[in-house]
Structure 1
Amino acid sequence: MTLLPTRNSQLAFSRATFRSVPEMLDYAARGETGVTFYTARGERLAALTWCEIRDRAHVVARKLIGAGFARGDRLLITADTWPGFFDTFFGAQYAGMLPVPVSIPVGIGGKEAYLEQLRRQFAASGAVAAVGIDDLAGFLAEAAAEFPDLRLHGGVGAIDSLPEKPVDLRPLGPDDDCYIQFSSGSTRHPHGVRIQQSALMANLAGITGPAGLDVVIGDRAVSWLPLYHDMGLIGFLMAPLSSQLSIDYLTPRDFARRPMQWLNLISRNRASIAYSPSFGYDLATRRGAMQVPDDLDLSTWRVAGIGGDMVRAEVLERFAAAFEPKGFNRSAFIPSYGMAEVCLAITFCPHGTGFRTDTVDRAALGNEQRAVPAADSADAQTARRFVVCGRVLPGHQLEVRDESGTVLGDRQVGRIFVKGPSIMPGYFNEPEASHAVLSKDGWLDTGDLGYLLDGEIVVTGRAKDLIIVHGRNVWPQDIEWAIEGRRLVKTGDSAAFSVDSGEGERVVVAVVARVSGDEARAELARDVAGAVREAVVVDCEVVLVPPALGLPMTSSGKLSRARARANYLAGLYAPPPSSTKPAAA
């Protein structure tokens, strides 16, 4: 199978100058570039040019229109990384329907939780059809049983079996919505973000432009990011499509099994753009650095983006150290900040600067909500290091405000607010939830905390995850990173949260116990409690999580502290054999 070209030989390069998704796919279909799907072993499964994707989408659209689905109807799609997702997502666009991409099951023993998630997403979106990979057809059928308005559900064959009728296409246009994106962590009360065509186009212009990734002729993208998440769907489908790039895909599952294949694809196909949350770089370093192929060459990788979770400097430092001998340039790192409610991107760091950090006094940060530069002699117990996440996109505004709404100056920590053409108009059919985060004059309360530094944003955490102990702010990431830094548990195997005991907040730390025997489990709990006490000077209750259960994740693969707290309150986590619960004061 011949590698799809990186450049179009005849079609002129156009960077995000379109008004709708069908319009940009129609343009890309005039060239030779497209998408290729790879296995965990790096073998090509399928390759489709944008022209073939457009033609297949037209067939799906005529089947959907011919089956009587109305313009504006919602089509739920389990968004695995496979050609069928492209068929149905783009087919819905040409049929005038709104796609609703949702996650596939994650983890072991999660059937009932996944079915409940599907039911809530069906209810929230009002979907009238649901399709996905054949392996999930049974899940869709079981969840759909409670929704009589769901007229079609099943694997890809559910649409294939429909007759293709000679009907006119009715593509979504510039004034229409584009799709519904369920935001991360919203499994209990899912909020469907309305993504408008105009907002998406504005965000794509920022992402691909000079203030973003600065996409150029000859760029090629490689991605393992899930297509049900905004960073995967917009960052590594819509953005490359809007610039007529070729994309090479691994599934998230295959990346998790063999993370070196991500780097191998970048090397083999001479790719220049790839993105990951910090945990992806960490996984590639931990599992891949010991088995680096002799011929690995990362010298073409000019944009190594980071986003989707708290950017961790030490992870990026380890990755750069491991792969600089293979041509990786640490100046390619581009930290960024974004969220689904703004389509995807809010800020980017400038090209060629790599990642930059700001080290601040931990006491002033927690007690005074000020980012005071730390003394040169400060250590990890008295200082905290953050990665700078860049400037807001052109045409957008960003402010940091205190609880009263007063706009704060540099180095003052508060809630981050943004405004601009990429902002959602609201959550789908949820006016109260929309009103809670959107002001009448268009400002979005992101729910994140941070501070400005010479016009760039530094994100310090989520406001809802913040732990307040005796009037002092404690970030859960500080606790988790202290535990992981001691090598007590694997990265991602700890979750810190607080529980209101009625007499103030109590800190709880849940850790995955990958040890056996009462003595080893008790020792793990004592060591965790000691590490927390030393790092952030608080006592905590340690509870142990069975490895088979693991810690809960959002659909985008991020730790869900809210669900970990709920699991704790439900009694799913066990105390250690020798309790480490702090004594009552």
Structure 2
Amino acid sequence: MTLTAWIDNPVTDRGLSFWKGERWERFTYAELAAGVRAKATEFRSAGVESGEVVPVVLGQSPEFILSFFGLLWAGAIPTVLPVPKSLGGSSGYTQFIVGLAGVGGVRHFVAEPRYRGTLSAAFDSSGRVVEALEPGWCSCAGSVATPNTGTAIMQFTSGSRGNPKGLRITHGNVEANLAMIREWLSLGDHVGVSWLPLYHDMGLIGGLLSPVTVQAEHKMMSPSDFVREPLRWLLEYGRHPFAVMFMPNFGFEWVVNLVRPEQLKGCDFSSLRSVISGAERVQLDSISQFGALLEPHGFKFTALTPAYGLAEGTLAVTGVRPGQITRAVDLGRTAVPFGSRVEIGQEVEISGAQPLRAGWLVSCGTPLAGVELSIRDLKQQPMPERSVGEVWVRAESVAESYSTEDGPLDTDRVDGWLRTGDSGFVHDDELYVVGRIGDSIKIRGESIHMEDLEGQLVDILRPSLFRRSCVVGSASEGQPVVTVVTEFVLEPAERATIGEILTGILGTTVELRWLQLDPGELPMTTSGKPRRREVWLRHLAASIVPPTLNAG
């Protein structure tokens, strides 16, 4: 099934709905397909050529569907970008756009009117002539598709670790991953209600392309609408037979914190078959308490389906199968060094609410159909079960190259295997992800992951504050340093307990530092992960507070 097959044979009895602040606005797939074909004609008339990279800055709207699929229908390559405020203000955004324009050879862009001026100014500063395209409906005659079997979508990094680079995801990559997702989730006529940003792979591939390519009934709302009214989003699942949710961990936390049980009176969640948690480490308490909130209204814990994926794999790599109980393992009050064998203390099947506890990892399930998974050591050799190493992936969905200003750059592959840069282990054929290898520090010859250290602190930091903190590892004058970063004041007793825990894991040769930021100052990625390297570089010279507790 191709990305655009639905445009040739659209249905009239199912469609997409978009939240407009007070009501849902619905369009059938037949209406949207006609709009896409007309939009492709308009884009071609404006000079858009096959193979051209075209940035798209539009939210969850029918205009996004027309523009994104209109570009695909015209043979162009859409790249969905965050809005200016998502990249730290106008100066950071301008730098990002200038780099992107040079990499992609951009000649046109599509954006909401409120962002058009910022984008035009940014493109002007790149020295390129870039024209704005209109995003709305048009009265042009429909056209036939312009075949483009090469790159379908380009996904750009934000450039936080250097100049932007565009991941080239081919039609074959996307279609292979969508087929894996369809087989995994058994997608039916009703998928769900997505609020995930469309510039993120989970939002675009999972929250949009998955339902659209099967022409399922589906709804979309903006991230800000979800944050303002999580109950409204949840009630859609309680009142309609939607079967799938896609969310990062903080979404479950947000719902549990803001939705009261009595507000779900009359809801029926029995149709909900798959609740996918991904994009960041899955927290046992978050998904289990979300399940407990819905359970009195027909929800089954077998619908909890945590997953693992990454942009270079298009999206999904592994996932717990719907109908299977999700498992979690207790690794105790200790870190899990790279190369070590995991000792599992306890193992539970998630069938009820669990408290916030340190040392627990949640399974991300088994490889999807067509995916091969391997855990490798530093010598690139396969490792046995329960051994922590780098996660390697091989599948048709794995992208092969990036575009950079210096030319094409291969993704990090060895004999067809993608080196993900993530560490994890396999237990009973299921993947448990430990953390990013780049976010680790060498202690006594072993790599300790910052996510692992953070996981040891979850029951010390108050749950409502846990997401406003992180741990950063680095070196200062050759000495390893671990910095605890918060957007709030740590009480003396909390600081003392944290110091004892980290010293017990890291030993006495690591310097422990403390850094308090202003609220909202902790830089995050588009998927809600802390930018640890940026924290360290931004505050290294002036803002690191001399420690009152020192592990050395």
Query: Do these two structures clear the TM 0.5 threshold for a shared fold by scoring above it?
Result: yes
Match of 1:244 among 197, 215, 225: 215
Structure 2 SS opposite 1:208: helix
**Equivalences for 1:419-458 in 2 at 5 Å?**
419-429=394-404, 434-435=409-410, 437-439=412-414, 441-458=415-432
* Residue 98 (str. 1) matches residue 77 (str. 2): yes
* Gap change, CA 1:412 and 1:481, over 3 Å in 2: closer
What letter is aligned with 2:494? Answer: D
Matching residue of 1:544: 516
| Offset of residue 436 of structure 1 | 5.9
What letter is aligned with 2:152? Answer: C
Q: Deviations over 1:498-523 (max 9, x none)?
A: 1211223200121112xxxxxxx4x5
Matching residue of 1:501: 476
**Equivalences for 1:21-170 in 2 at 5 Å?**
21-27=3-9, 29-39=10-20, 43-106=22-85, 110-153=89-132, 156=135, 164=140, 169-170=144-145
Matching residue of 1:510: 485
CA separation in 2, counterparts of 1:536 and 1:213? 44
* Gap change, CA 1:565 and 1:325, over 3 Å in 2: same
* Gap change, CA 1:581 and 1:507, over 3 Å in 2: farther
CA separation in 1, counterparts of 2:37 and 2:64? 14
* Gap change, CA 1:201 and 1:247, over 3 Å in 2: same
* Gap change, CA 1:421 and 1:570, over 3 Å in 2: farther
CA separation in 1, counterparts of 2:388 and 2:461? 30
**Equivalences for 1:75-474 in 2 at 5 Å?**
75-106=54-85, 110-153=89-132, 156=135, 164=140, 169-173=144-148, 175-183=149-157, 188-209=162-183, 212-216=184-188, 218-289=189-260, 292-361=263-332, 363=334, 365-366=336-337, 369-374=340-345, 384-429=359-404, 434-435=409-410, 437-439=412-414, 441-474=415-448
* Gap change, CA 1:584 and 1:244, over 3 Å in 2: closer
CA separation in 2, counterparts of 1:32 and 1:47? 11
CA separation in 1, counterparts of 2:361 and 2:131? 48
| Offset of residue 392 of structure 1 | 1.4
Matching residue of 1:3: none
What letter is aligned with 1:540? Answer: L
Structure 2, unaligned runs of 5 or more: 348-354
Q: Conserved in 2, the CA contact under 8 Å of 1:529 and 1:540?
A: no
| Offset of residue 30 of structure 1 | 3.1
* Gap change, CA 1:255 and 1:427, over 3 Å in 2: same
CA separation in 1, counterparts of 2:286 and 2:392? 28
What letter is aligned with 1:61? Answer: A
* Gap change, CA 1:502 and 1:99, over 3 Å in 2: same
* Residue 533 (str. 1) matches residue 522 (str. 2): no
CA separation in 1, counterparts of 2:452 and 2:43? 50
| Offset of residue 343 of structure 1 | 0.8
CA separation in 1, counterparts of 2:471 and 2:39? 46
CA separation in 2, counterparts of 1:584 and 1:325? 47
CA separation in 2, counterparts of 1:298 and 1:382? 27
Q: Deviations over 1:2-56 (max 9, x none)?
A: xxxxxxxxxxxxxxxx1x32223323x134211101146xx32421111121111
CA separation in 2, counterparts of 1:276 and 1:382? 21
* Gap change, CA 1:135 and 1:375, over 3 Å in 2: closer
| Offset of residue 304 of structure 1 | 1.0
Q: Conserved in 1, the CA contact under 8 Å of 2:372 and 2:395?
A: yes
CA separation in 2, counterparts of 1:135 and 1:264? 31
* Gap change, CA 1:81 and 1:186, over 3 Å in 2: farther
What letter is aligned with 2:390? Answer: R
Q: Conserved in 2, the CA contact under 8 Å of 1:101 and 1:228?
A: yes
* Gap change, CA 1:295 and 1:509, over 3 Å in 2: same
Q: Conserved in 2, the CA contact under 8 Å of 1:367 and 1:471?
A: no
What letter is aligned with 1:496? Answer: V
* Residue 566 (str. 1) matches residue 548 (str. 2): no
Structure 1, unaligned runs of 5 or more: 1-17, 514-520
* Gap change, CA 1:584 and 1:214, over 3 Å in 2: closer
Structure 1 SS opposite 2:466: coil
CA separation in 2, counterparts of 1:364 and 1:550? 28
Q: TM-score, normalised by structure 1?
A: 0.85
| Offset of residue 244 of structure 1 | 1.7
CA separation in 1, counterparts of 2:367 and 2:274? 18
Please provide the CA RMSD for this pair: 2.9
Give the fraction of aligned pairs with identical amino acids, expressed as a percent. 27
Matching residue of 2:350: none
* Gap change, CA 1:34 and 1:375, over 3 Å in 2: closer
CA separation in 1, counterparts of 2:500 and 2:408? 38
* Gap change, CA 1:451 and 1:524, over 3 Å in 2: same
